[in-house]
Structure 1
């Protein structure tokens, strides 16, 4: 992400959050389709998909609010954006933790090199978003 957006920075960071929350929701499907996981992991991945999609929709509503404000973001709205980004960061950290749990505990994944590589890639992508979110939050 480029950091020269100035006054449009709240919209830019929301764009990033919107993209990565959608990706994480899709990643739950990728993992489920890639390997024949144990039922409890499948169930939890479906729950994660719902949670991540809900966050994705929430971020989209914030994007609409910022756009409708004609990019004149009030201090209160800006603070809400930062809180949402913080929430998204924490959610991504929890999702990463669950992906690592799958890698460590699933017997279906333990013998599947491709599944391990894909899950590592999914973790890396969520880590990328966390880096973006941390940069935004620590600048404040």
Structure 2
């Protein structure tokens, strides 16, 4: 993400949240489809993750719609709520990364399939990329 968006930075951050929550939701499907013999407990967990990401994605979209209607006026309250939402998205991604690492370490069908492990690491890398964006935004003074 580029940091030259100026006053549009809050919208750009929300765009990133929207995109990455949708990606993570899709990643839950990829894992389930790729690992046909995945243990039931992990299938159930992935279904829960899919739902959680869908809900977060919806929250982000609703926030974007609210922000757009503010016509460029970013109040203290809006910034506070934006920071809270980005923090939530960041923590959710960190938890998903931990879950994916758990799959790699504990799931026999994942541990025994080199291709699946590569895909899992790619999924983790993508979530870590979003975490980096979210952290940069939260720790900067630019929003």
- Do they fold alike, i.e. is TM over 0.5? yes
Corresponding position of 1:137: 138
User: Runs of 4+ in structure 1 displaced over 6 angstroms?
Assistant: none
* 3-state secondary structure, aligned to 2:38: coil
Equivalence for 2:58: 57
Map of 1:107 onto structure 2: 108
| 2:83 is equivalent to residue 69 of structure 1 | no
User: Could you say what the CA RMSD is over the residues aligned between the two structures, in angstroms?
Assistant: 0.6
Structure 2: runs of 5 or more not aligned: none
* Distance in 2 (alpha carbons) for counterparts of 1:71 and 1:29: 36
**Secondary structure, in 3 states, of the residue corresponding to 1:50?**
helix
Correspondence list, 1:1-140, <5 A = 1-35=1-35, 36-140=37-141
Please give the per-residue CA displacement for 1:72-125, whole angstroms capped at 9, x wherever unaligned. 111101110011001100000000000000010000111111100000000000
Q: TM-score, normalised by structure 2?
A: 0.96
What CA distance in whole angstroms lies between the structure 2 residues aligned with 1:76 and 1:53? 25
Distance (Å, rounded) in 2 between the aligned partners of 1:108 and 1:52: 24
Distance, in Å, in 2 between the alignment partners of 1:12 and 1:72 is 15
Length-normalised TM-score, structure 1: 0.98
Unpaired stretches in structure 1, ≥5 consecutive residues: none
Aligned length: 140
Shift of 1:30: 0.2
